[in-house]
Structure 1
Amino acid sequence: MKNGLKVLIVASEAAPFIKSGGLGDVVGSLPKALQEQGVDVRVVIPRHMSVKSSEMHDVKYLGEFDVHLFWRIQRAKVLVKPQEVPIYFIENDFYFGRGGLYGYGDDNERFAFFGKAVLDMMAMLDFYPDVLHCNDWQTGPICMYLKEIYSKMVYYSRIKTLFTIHNLQYQGNFDKSTMEIIGVPYYCYENGSVEFYNNVSFMKMGLNYADRISTVSETYAKEIQTWEYGYGMDGILRSRQEVLSGIVNGIDYLANNPETDSRIVCNYNADQLEGKAENKRDLQECLGLEKRDVPIISMITRLADQKGLDILSYVFHEMMQRDVQFVLLGTGETRFEYFFREMAKRYPGRASLNIFFDETLAQQIYAGSDLFLMPSRFEPCGLGQLFSLRYGTVPIVRKTGGLADTIFQYHSETKEGNGFLFESYDGGGILWALDQALQVYYKGKDEWNHVVKNAMNSNYSWANSASKYIKLYEILKKEGTPVE
């Protein structure tokens, strides 16, 4: 590889094999962009039972070994899918032969096992990366094991760690008895390195033991150092702010290209927007919406407070009093599923509430909508607004996290900006930003096409973000190189 960097990306999920959210998308896309820029990059995830079997047909068995956790010994099998970016799987049915990814009573033991298995796998493969790029709480133990145990071995001593926070709200906090399972000295708990309000925190392991920390937008990197967004970790993050970076996620511009996407009914680009109008008409027909030229507002989201659905529900009727149509796709909290099912009955022909998830329908919604709503309470990066920009569906977002770093207010006078923003976390903010967007929409097609083209010409491909990660990796590699 031309830049000589060796990187192993470690995560609990990766698209297209298995994903539960944005983490899987990132781990599925970033390595390809790194590889294109000359990095020897590989990926390792657990072999969950629900990994898509269609993606496993040419996977090869490489070997196996025992992993010791306190008194329990479990076997780790290593599989590899040989491709441009090799992906390794740690297989153990006792821990990962289950239907879901997370939420089990022994998640502490499952991911401690995974962490040790990843480190032991390196010796089996004779592959020692310059940088171990760990992602979210599930990989926190790796940073701790490397510093407390493995760094005493010569081949591990030069490995540096980057720990990326995708969502600080999810921390992997477990009972204090976890210390007996993970097999590190008890002083790690007593000195506060892993202790978090009388629990053991896998997130805190990553934050304290990693050589560098990153998160998925510059604004979120600042926000998580405050009490409001820090979820109890803000003090640690402030103490390590010199090694904390924010790098906005990207999306795969080849897989998500309105000019070539086979999942939408009519391809188009920023210079030929007639095809987008055709996608809008098709979306109305497929979802039973009135076939009228009114703005379609869409959301593709988890149904949760974080995504702003609490404030949206307060002003939903006011929003629908404007001459708009509304499309939702997603699942989540029961109260929100119930609310939107009721709204579908209340607004037949004007609201299509799809309480499930379908990737093809998602692409059709991105292509056929006019506006994409993300009124998030907080949003580390957000991918929905990046997909919507790519397809010329203009975002309406709250100015927080990655939304603040990727969406810029449109001004009719200067013709600059790619969306509409509001700051206050309340329903009034949503309505204010929506009215700003509708004013531009009703000025006519020429005016609206300015903001649509600005959206489509925004560049959030992985190439830019990968370059920033490479700079971090190079800093870490230099730190890990012994002085001659």
Structure 2
Amino acid sequence: MNVLFATSEMFPLIKTGGLADVSGALPLALSQVGVDVRVVLPRYANIKTDLIESEIQIGQKEILGQPVKINLANLNTGHLVYLVDHPVFSARQGNPYIGPDGNNWHDNPDRFGLFCRAVVALSTGLFGDAWKPDIIHSNDWQTGLIPALLSESSSPKNIFTIHNLAYQGVFDRPTFERLGLPWSLWRPDALEYWGNMSFMKAGIVFSKFVTTVSNTYAQEIQSPEFGYGLDGLLHHKQDRLKGILNGIGEDWNPQTDPLLEKPFSTSDMTGKAIIKESIQHEFGLTIDGNIPLITHVGRLVEQKGIDLLIQAIETLGSAQVQFVILGAGEHRFEHALRSLAEKNPDRIAVVIGYDEKLAHRLEAAGDAFIMPSRFEPCGLNQMYSLRYGALPIVHRVGGLADTVTHITPESIKDGSASGIVIDHLDVSAIHWAIGYFMEIYKDRDLYRKIQQQGMQKDFGWITSAKEYKKIYSAALKEQTHDESSQHEH
């Protein structure tokens, strides 16, 4: 079974968020369960070329009158990766999607439209590569045109994964015309979306199966509250819509993590205490192992509930609790957090930006990790937190609901308790959750018991990979059935 995994980012080559983590870890897990998988992504200016052990040019082809090269790279991580090379990717430094002014690149639909066409050309043999995929597994709006462009072809089959339905790649009709797409796709049961076009809708409509990244999110996106205008389409496709929980890779393992000052495990937690003290010292917080430390790593946007968290921290007053927050996003939230840290330097620290090493250290240092997202398709940080012995404080949505079990007398008794889950999200609920965590933290025996239970949960990728393999097999079985029916007629 040959699978071409199409994505706009992949760790460790280039990362802006969770999609990169999935695109790095899932293909390796798929190869462990017997799938021949290759990843395809744009060759951005900022990819880490030191990870490439060898590279060969597959071919060069004109796409919409523009020369596009595709190379096959062998990474020292074990990945085989096709890199789609064109100046709209390779001549721009910085973020894959956003320009230096903080706004989306004005030509993103053209850039990712070109990428989708290149993937289609590669998969149908137009670049002359001998390896042919049976399945193309596309991810999020940037790859949504691939299934639409392949809709007239019987092979390969398309699987599409929604990582976050809020970002849909919606553009106007002149963009549709400029992209040179077939007019047969401009209709309500194809790409047309309230007078505009939607890359995300294209991926959903034209794929054999649609997956998303947790069971709860698969249900939520069929409702108006979480469906962003596509809930009717997703409900219509519900028998072909499946939630498969993301896993976390071995790069997030406190026993082997090279980014930590000292490793730790359920049997020896001294490393965690050392890292907490190191973080307190580094950020000028009061150095005291008995003061609970709550950390947060994420985008500073409303989706993540950061506005509510800021208000909740403000109303805590001088409570004996510390916060370290790492993230970047809306300037108003960055400014508010900096202001909080300036007023409370002994108990609040803020780092604006993203730092992979610091992200690992904060997961390890924290006694709790707060993640009050308004919606969360899967979420990875709450799983990292559990593995690193930090109790997650979360809102009962999406993957957060599927991975964190609220601490109650019953869940403590049956050994499933792992964190604090808010049912109705507002400032007072976050305030309450922080207070509840501090009460649990005071009871050190109870805290340690819950912490250990969380650290022992299995969020490995192999379980997820087996589920994806089943979906690939179902798509290929349908193809065989369709072909045999045609022969009978």
Give TM-score scaled by structure 1 length. Answer: 0.93
What are the ranges of 5 or more consecutive residues in structure 1 without an aligned counterpart? Answer: 152-156
1:178 offset after TM fit, Å?
A: 2.6
Deviations 1:189-232 (A, max 9, x none): 13441111211111111111111101111111111111111111
| Selected match of 1:375 from 368, 372, 376 | 372
Deviations 1:10-65 (A, max 9, x none): 01111111111111111011000011111101100011112123234632222211
Sequence identity, in percent?
39
Relative to structure 2, which stretch is displaced further, 285-294 or 79-88?
A: 79-88
- The residue correspondences of 1:51-450 to structure 2 (distance < 5 A) are 51-56=47-52, 58-68=54-64, 73-83=65-75, 84-94=78-88, 96-99=90-93, 100-102=95-97, 103-122=104-123, 123=125, 124-148=128-152, 151=153, 157-253=154-250, 255-292=251-288, 293-412=290-409, 413-414=412-413, 415-444=415-444, 446-450=445-449
Distance 1:334 1:46 in 2: 29
Are residues 311 and 125 of structure 1, via their aligned partners in 2, closer, same or farther at CA, if it must alter by over 3 Å? same
List, as ranges, runs of 4+ consecutive aligned residues in structure 1 with deviation greater than 6 Å.
Answer: none
| Pair 1:454 & 2:464 matched | no
1:96 offset after TM fit, Å?
A: 4.5
Q: Is the 8 A contact 1:296 1:370 kept in 2?
A: yes
Q: What RMSD in Å do the two structures reach over aligned CA positions?
A: 1.5
Which residue in 2 is equivalent to 1:37?
33
Are residues 95 and 258 of structure 1, via their aligned partners in 2, closer, same or farther at CA, if it must alter by over 3 Å? closer
Q: Is the 8 A contact 1:179 1:186 kept in 2?
A: no
Q: Is the 8 A contact 2:52 2:74 kept in 1?
A: no
Q: Is the 8 A contact 2:176 2:197 kept in 1?
A: yes
Q: Is the 8 A contact 2:45 2:89 kept in 1?
A: no
Distance 1:94 1:322 in 2: 50
Which residue in 2 is equivalent to 1:154?
none
1:317 offset after TM fit, Å?
A: 2.0
1:94 offset after TM fit, Å?
A: 4.0
Deviations 1:132-177 (A, max 9, x none): 10000111110000003xx0xxxxx232111100111111111102
Distance 2:195 2:476 in 1: 35
| Pair 1:466 & 2:465 matched | yes
Which residue in 1 is equivalent to 2:101?
none
Q: Specify the code of the residue in structure 1 equivalent to 2:61.
A: F
1:110 offset after TM fit, Å?
A: 1.5
Distance 2:57 2:426 in 1: 53
Distance 1:213 1:319 in 2: 43
Q: Is the 8 A contact 1:35 1:41 kept in 2?
A: yes
| Pair 1:50 & 2:46 matched | yes
1:448 offset after TM fit, Å?
A: 1.1
1:459 offset after TM fit, Å?
A: 0.9
1:435 offset after TM fit, Å?
A: 2.2
Distance 2:41 2:48 in 1: 13
Distance 1:320 1:36 in 2: 51
1:95 offset after TM fit, Å?
A: 5.1
Length, aligned pairs only: 467
Q: Specify the code of the residue in structure 1 equivalent to 2:148.
A: M
Q: Specify the code of the residue in structure 2 equivalent to 1:430.
A: I
SS in 2 for 1:323: coil
Distance 2:189 2:257 in 1: 50
Deviations 1:423-475 (A, max 9, x none): 1120111122222222211112x221111101101111111111111111111
SS in 1 for 2:329: coil
Distance 1:191 1:227 in 2: 18
What are the ranges of 5 or more consecutive residues in structure 2 without an aligned counterpart? Answer: 98-103
Relative to structure 2, which stretch is displaced further, 196-205 or 96-105?
A: 96-105
Q: Specify the code of the residue in structure 1 equivalent to 2:459.
A: Y
Deviations 1:398-439 (A, max 9, x none): 010110010011235514311110011201111222222222
SS in 2 for 1:430: helix
SS in 1 for 2:370: strand
Distance 1:416 1:13 in 2: 35
| Pair 1:21 & 2:17 matched | yes
